Amino acid sequence: MSSAPWNWETGERLLSLNDPAEWDAAFARGERSLGTAAIGLAFNCSLEEASPRIVRATQLPDTAQRGFAFTAAGTAARLNGALTPELYAALRAEGPGRRSLAADAIDDTLTFVPFRSLPTWLKCWSVVSTVLNKLDAWRLSLAYAVIDAWKAARRYRDRVFDVRPHD
């Protein structure tokens, strides 16, 4: 283990990583926890310094570390109110949608990056996801209304016909 204040094996203290060159060296060595370290870069470095490393981390073979890389992209969007074209491309490559590793990062981007600054595909996804969410809300409202009506009809039936629960 090196004398650095972070531990690549366990991921301990990697959220404080502030040296892109150290991330590059760890990547070259094939270290673990590169996605976790990408979050540290998002917190502690400029977007321009962190972006290429976050993009590389989104392509790691380890699914968990790729997930952390997308968390780093969302963190970058939160902190900077913008993303680089390469980060937008990484989000698009992973794809939007509820089952995507990039779903939370895309949601963070839609929340913290001004709409006018978004690429066209993300503006379109924003509209589509808003419509899907509204349709889902209406579906749930209808389902709850049907359940409530059914319960009311059963209560009415029980009162009218003096139906009592069996002991």
What confidence score (pLDDT) does residue 158 get?
85
Model pTM score: 0.79
d(CA 159, CA 161): 6
Query: Are 32 and 8 spatial neighbours (Cβ–Cβ below 8 Å)?
Result: yes
User: Does the pLDDT of residue 167 top 60, yes or no?
Assistant: no
Q: Give pLDDT tens digits for 94-124.
A: 988 778 999 999 999 999 999 999 999 999 9
Q: Residue range 56-79: average pLDDT? A: 96
User: Does the pLDDT of residue 165 top 70, yes or no?
Assistant: no
What confidence score (pLDDT) does residue 2 get?
45
**Binning pLDDT at 50, 70 and 90, where does residue 1 land?**
very low
What confidence score (pLDDT) does residue 4 get?
59
User: Does the pLDDT of residue 14 top 90, yes or no?
Assistant: yes
- Residue 22 has a CB neighbour count (10 Å cut-off) of 19
Q: Give pLDDT tens digits for 91-100.
A: 999 988 778 9
